[in-house]
A and B are shown apart, each in its own frame.
Chain A
Amino acid sequence: MRIVVPIKAVPDLVEEIELTADETGIDREFLAFVVSEWDAQALEEALLIKDANGAEVVAAGLASDPDIDQALYTAIAKGADAAVKITGGEGEPVLTGERAALLASYLASEPADLVVTGVQAADDLDGQLPPMLAARLGWPHVSVVVGIAATDGAITARQEFAGGRVHELAVRLPAVIGVQAARQAPRYAPISRVRQAMQAGGLREVAAEPSRGAPAPVVRRMFRPERTSRAEMLTGSTDDVAEAIVGLLRGRGLVKG
């Protein structure tokens, strides 16, 4: 079974987010980027399938994504068999629809049995990748998946709903799965192995020819949420803050003694 895992670099939310001068986008120039956390979960799930059943796992990134080489080498260090960097399209694709077009073109040239990727990304504006990609490929898809088991020519995917109810679905391949969480926490790749993967090289570039997809929404402006009901900030030393919090709880009868 060949499993392709598209991974995406997203702004690190720990950083201060700046808007572009015209306020219609995120200023990406000075931002730090990390692999989307749901894509890291998807990669783990793919590697778990490989561990259990044997599979060829291919990590796929867009060449225009910041720091994508590092992310792809990390995927190899974790156990992916190969990594591809997809080129083509114009500029940095901001919209999910553009990413889906590039990935669909890649998957037409190098078919997969299963595509496993993050259920969403923190900067999705026009929707999530798994259903968009599946709709372009004409494949079935399932999102919010918390575990996959592979059998002959099919998989069962555990789909999660509000409150933690789970539906187990049998899905014929090929299919696209949007992963919410892997069955276990993503494995760690030792720096030495990431470095080893980098030295070995082996990122393969593939040129994609994106075709047009769904019309996109038009960004009129971006802005920060108005802080109308902002929290009252407790100031002073750690001890002062602790004292204030204990006071608030005591005042409501929530501290015994």
Chain B
Amino acid sequence: MSWIEMNLSEVVGLLLGLIFTLSIFSYILGDNMMFRLATHIFIGVAAGFACSVAWQSVIFPQLVRPLLIGTNTERVFVIIPLILSVLLFMKVSRRFSFLGSPVMGFLVGTGAAVAIIGAVTGTLFPQVSATINLFDLQAIVHREENVLSQLFAGGIALIGTLTTFAYFNFGKRTIVDQLPVRFSFQKLIALTGQSFIAVTFGVLFAQILSASIVALIERVNFIWNLILPFISTLS
């Protein structure tokens, strides 16, 4: 799509995108005003957009509209959320912030309970079961996979899991008049676990670098596509 085919909003959007992209790239030269201006604008726009989304998607359709145009039943059901919302809003006042504490406690407690239950039933137990099932020969045969390779992979996973857990065991042997030291086998296990952790962090770093390189490629491609028509026109 050429510049002539674009409408004004698209052109302005592209120019703003170019300016902000260059402003962020200017950090290569060091911290400067353009970089800080761009970051501040991004943060402000994100906050404003979050507020507008909260009003448009949550507060108005689920609280205000039932009170204004909803039925009596809907109004009754939104009274309690309304009261709790008002109490939670009291947190902005130092004098009446205690009124919002119960609501805040309810929110935090409910969120923690949901997160813990989800972590236990959705991650911990299934992952432990998956680690055990790596040595399920019938399952391996059922999946028509190579038994030895699957056992090897399962063994690596098991060793990595156990040694990583052992690495975080900081218990040491206490000797009189000497500093506490780990047992030799404990050191070996911890070193193995540390190696697995290092490999994991290395993989995470490589993946993050990969995502960043892709983002950079996309921005360079955007700039190139933006200035390419001008270059073509000049040429």
Q: Are chains A and B native binding partners rather than an unrelated pairing?
A: no
Binding site for B on A (CB under 8 A): none
